[in-house]
Amino acid sequence: MQQPLSLAELPQDTSGAGAPTSHRARCCVSTSPCFAASSFSWAAEPGMQAEAARDGAEDEETQAEPVSNGGGPEGGPGAGPGQELVELRIIWNKTKYDVRFPLDGSGAALKQQIQALTGLPPAMQKVMFKGLVPEDKTLREIKVTNGAKIMVVGSTINDVLAVNTPKEAAQPEVKAEESKKEPLCRQKQHRKVLDKGKPDDVMPSVKGVQERLPTVPLSGMYNKSGGKVRLTFKLEQDQLWIGTKERTEKLPMGSIKNVVSEPIEGHEDYHMMAFQLGPTEASYYWVYWVPTQYVDAIKDTVLGKWQYF
């Protein structure tokens, strides 16, 4: 290792002033390669010191910046930092939208988000997740999980205005005529099924209560031939599956023209229900012993409230 020069061996300053370099200045001189290179570098490029200071400040800012959790516009109305979000797939009119939405957001807020995506006013929307999504409940309360599929049924204002109004005007006359008929459960074609009695494995009923569709198929019911039938609502595919021992019919919900039902006399907590699959009543597919608490949810899921405007 090279030894430092003594004071006597240091060269004298021969600049114009002719004065020797001061001992204070000479004490800072070293022939150590590392020290000399470092001192020369900093002296030669004084801007590097300020640049390094700026880099250090930026590093501190990067470490302090919070990680975004997807709030703001992507998270829907009212979304903000710290809110727990879920990823949803919203399906409307065969179009799929992948969004992130606050788990504690309400059904009403979800409708606002759907309006931003589809242009459907909230009043024209029918939002379904295992039945109708209540506007006053949060997604957490109705057990929405990450990756859930939300079905939306609705029509734009232009579509509603295009509805045939004379047909709507004729509906009161049709209803008045139907009211004169004897109850469906007394008609011969239905009595032969109803006289078999309530199936032993039919699902329990709750009178005076409206519930969302269960997460499992509705089972234990009879069809027109007296065979067992089950109903499975595939919301993610917009289909109704009608299953029997022999086969399963997969029906697009848009192909079902109407849904009618009537309480069974003596068993008003159960209904007989028909799905109209064609243009006339001859196409009715009858199902017997439907628990009353699911009747409205079935109609709303298949038809959508917007169709009654």
CATH of domain 164-308: 2.30.29.30
Contact criterion met (CB below 8 Å) for 149 and 236: yes
Burial status of residue 211 (CB atoms within 10 A of its CB: 0-12, 13-18, 19 or more): middle
Topology given in CATH for the domain delimited by 72-160 = Ubiquitin-like (UB roll) (3.10.20)
Instruction: Provide the β-strand partners of residue 150.
Output: 90
The predicted structure's pLDDT at residue 106: 92
Same fold, 72-160 and 164-308: no
Mean pLDDT, to the nearest integer, of 276-285?
A: 90
Annotated domain spans of the chain = 7-64, 72-160, 164-308
Question: Would you give the DSSP letter of residue 103?
Answer: T
Strand ranges in 180-306 using DSSP code E only, listed in sequence order = 218-223, 228-234, 239-243, 248-252, 258-264, 267-276, 284-291
- Alpha-carbon span 24 to 18, nearest angstrom: 17
Closest alpha carbon to 137 in 117, 109, 100, 114:
109
Q: Which residues contact 120 (CB under 8 A, 6 or more apart)?
A: 92, 114, 152, 154, 155, 156
pLDDT > 90? residue 244? yes
210 pLDDT exceeds 60?
yes
CB under 8 Å to 1, separation ≥6 — which residues?
none
Structure tokens at 244: 């029997």
Round to whole Å and give the CA distance between 111 and 93.
16
CA distance 116 to 136: 20
Geometric angle at alpha carbon 213, from 168 and 127, rounded to 5°: 60
What number is the average pLDDT over the span 274-283? Answer: 90
Question: Percentage of the chain surpassing pLDDT 90?
Answer: 39
Q: Which residues pair with 276 in a beta bridge?
A: 258, 284
Residue 208 — pLDDT band, cuts 50, 70, 90?
confident
pLDDT tens digits along 94-143:
889 999 999 999 999 999 999 998 888 888 888 988 888 899 999 999 99
Amino acid at 256: I
Other C-beta atoms lying within 10 Å of the C-beta of residue 228: 15
**Euclidean distance between CA atoms 201 and 106, whole angstroms:** 37
Strand partners, 62: none
The DSSP code for 211 is -
Q: How far apart are CA 140 and CA 101, in angstroms?
A: 11
78: closest CA among 53, 113, 51?
113
Read off the pLDDT of residues 33-58 as tens digits, 9 standing for 90 and up: 444 444 444 444 445 544 544 555 44
> What distance in Å separates the CA atoms of residue 256 and residue 215, rounded to the nearest whole number?
22
Between 68 and 73, name the one with better pLDDT: 73
If we measure between CA atoms, which residue out of 224, 243, 244 comes closest to residue 234?
A: 243
| Cβ neighbours of 239 (radius 10 Å) | 16
Q: How confident is the model at residue 264 (pLDDT cuts 50, 70, 90)?
A: very high
Q: Give the per-residue pLDDT at 25.
A: 40
